[in-house]
Amino acid sequence: MTVVSNTVDRLHTLLDDEKYDEINPLLADCHPAEIAHILESLPIKQRRIVWSSTALEQGDILSHLNDAVRTELMQTMHPTEVAAATEEMEADDAADLLQDLPGQVIEEVLLAMDEQHRWRLAQVLFYPEDTAGGLMNTDTLTIRADVTLDVVLRYLRLHAELPERTDTLMVVDRDNYYQGVLLITDLLTHDPELEVQQLLLSKIEPIPAHLSTHEVARLFEQRDLVSAPVIDEEGLLLGRITVDDVVDVIRAEADHTIMSSAGLDEEDDMFAPALTTTRHRAIWLGINLLTAFLAAWVIGLFEATLEQIVALAVLMPVVASMGGIAGSQTLTVVIRGMALGKVTDSNTPWLLRRELFVSIINGVLWALVVAGIAILWFGDIQLGIVIGCAIVVNLLFAAFSGTLIPLLLKRLSIDPALAGGVILTTVTDVVGFAAFLGLATLFLL
């Protein structure tokens, strides 16, 4: 946002001029989410200075920060400060924040809380972060089905404040078993003498607490929900999930796919110090170095051929690169289809056939182009035929691997977004070099 980037630029000026006492007035009008965003956009040294100038609303700001930045800033806080900061937060945000702390510190923070707050948090902490239970809030208003709307209206008026994003009231029986929801809007537009059960929407399926956040997000997207009830295995109402947390899940999933294709962690601090960044990236370079040397080893097998026809060395990256590009197109389509739940057992054969067909047509098309260029460049028709055939072979392998690698990885519970690209490139490099240099050895020597 322009407003935020202006503020960031002005902050930088203040920081450069060491006018630290002007920082707080500058941020006073900002929303906590904007301050979080500004903190994430600053290198560590400046970030700490700004953080120490924003004594107010620290809890709100923390709940909007990404994991890496939050953990870093919380290291400077005392457990009682952390406990105080979580007091005003929604239970799921507070749980999310606590889960980043070392086990011992979590205990200290929990002990520093009052009992009600601790109990509210414990329910959410019980469920893993990536399930409906870890995403829910426990601030749910419940009503009974056998009362009239008028009773509900009077009850709400006594209740002073409703939780944020309340679009429904949860209807439970006397044992707290979930029965359905009453829309707030129905409450407003219907005759107060009606009973809740006459307007009860029991069609709204409750979300089981163990459902993955991925499935929760798909449900919210498909049904256009604002909030949904969460129940345990017995059917007891535990809490509710609101759309703002689902938006964060969707954003995080998308970021994960984008970042992990480059071996990066979406929760990393973009402005982490150089040494931290170096360490995180080194591993990925190492893994890719292994695959690069595997490709080099394949080329090495044909040293004798390369010594005789140097044109092969000039053209071989073209074969590998075409395979890599075609394969990554297939891979991207399949990984996204899997994430959206569109790839099923019954349509995989169709998809594989389609990808193979596409690769044959595109393979033959571009093989002719490449062969033509090679013949014109090196005046060698046989070389042209060899490179053309190698490209067709490599594109076929690319389509095959691009479709099957992600499905196989998923079956092995390995993240296709992280490992798919590396494995695919290894295949297209190795097959590309082997096919081109192998065919050349057979037919050109």
Degrees to nearest 5, angle at CA 424 with 342 and 392: 95
Is 337 one of the binding residues for a second copy (CB under 8 A)?
A: yes
Pick between residue 101 and residue 245 the one whose CB is nearest to a second copy. 245
Cα–Cα dist 5/10, whole Å: 9
Q: Are 359 and 326 in contact (CB under 8 A)?
A: yes
Cα–Cα dist 294/289, whole Å: 9
Q: Are 138 and 111 in contact (CB under 8 A)?
A: no
- Stretch in the footprint of a second copy (CB under 8 A) among 20-28, 120-128, 273-281, 408-416: 273-281
Pairing state of beta strands 237-242 and 142-143? unpaired
Q: List the one residue from 56, 270, 381, 442 that touches a second copy (CB under 8 A).
A: 270
Q: List the one residue from 345, 412, 413, 445 that touches a second copy (CB under 8 A).
A: 345
Is 262 one of the binding residues for a second copy (CB under 8 A)?
A: yes
- Stretch in the footprint of a second copy (CB under 8 A) among 32-40, 110-118, 193-201, 232-240: 32-40
Please report, to the nearest 10 degrees, the dihedral formed by the alpha carbons of residues 290, 295, 300, 306 taken in order. -150
Is 48 one of the binding residues for a second copy (CB under 8 A)?
A: no
Q: Are 61 and 53 in contact (CB under 8 A)?
A: no
How big is the site for a second copy, counted in residues (CB under 8 A)?
129
Pick between residue 77 and residue 333 the one whose CB is nearest to a second copy. 333
Question: Smallest gap, in angstroms, from Cβ of residue 102 to a second copy?
Answer: 27
Q: Counting every residue, how long is the chain?
A: 445
Pick between residue 177 and residue 357 the one whose CB is nearest to a second copy. 357
Which ranges of 126-169 does DSSP label H, i.e. alpha helix?
Answer: 132-135, 149-158
Please, which of residues 117-156 interact with a second copy by CB under 8 A? Answer: 153, 156
Strand runs labelled E in 99-251? 142-143, 168-172, 178-183, 207-208, 227-231, 237-242
Is 346 one of the binding residues for a second copy (CB under 8 A)?
A: yes
Q: Which of 44, 51, 63 lies closest to 276, judged by CA? A: 44
Exposure letters 110-148 (e unless 16+ CB within 10 A, then b): bebbeeebeebbebbbebeeebbbbbbbbbbeebebeee
* Block residue for tokens 């409703």: 162
Is 94 one of the binding residues for a second copy (CB under 8 A)?
A: no
Is 381 one of the binding residues for a second copy (CB under 8 A)?
A: no
Is 78 one of the binding residues for a second copy (CB under 8 A)?
A: no
Helix and strand tally (H, E) in the chain? 22, 6
Q: Which two tokens mark 321?
A: 């690169």
Q: List the one residue from 25, 103, 174, 350 that touches a second copy (CB under 8 A).
A: 350
- Stretch in the footprint of a second copy (CB under 8 A) among 5-13, 70-78, 114-122, 408-416: 5-13
- Stretch in the footprint of a second copy (CB under 8 A) among 77-85, 130-138, 230-238, 359-367: 359-367
Is 328 one of the binding residues for a second copy (CB under 8 A)?
A: yes
Is 70 one of the binding residues for a second copy (CB under 8 A)?
A: no
- Stretch in the footprint of a second copy (CB under 8 A) among 96-104, 110-118, 120-128, 293-301: 293-301
Is 342 one of the binding residues for a second copy (CB under 8 A)?
A: yes
Q: Which two tokens mark 269?
A: 């601090």
Is 86 one of the binding residues for a second copy (CB under 8 A)?
A: no
Is 267 one of the binding residues for a second copy (CB under 8 A)?
A: no
Q: List the one residue from 159, 234, 413, 445 that touches a second copy (CB under 8 A).
A: 159
Is 37 one of the binding residues for a second copy (CB under 8 A)?
A: yes
Q: Which two tokens mark 355?
A: 């990808």
- Stretch in the footprint of a second copy (CB under 8 A) among 76-84, 120-128, 170-178, 296-304: 296-304
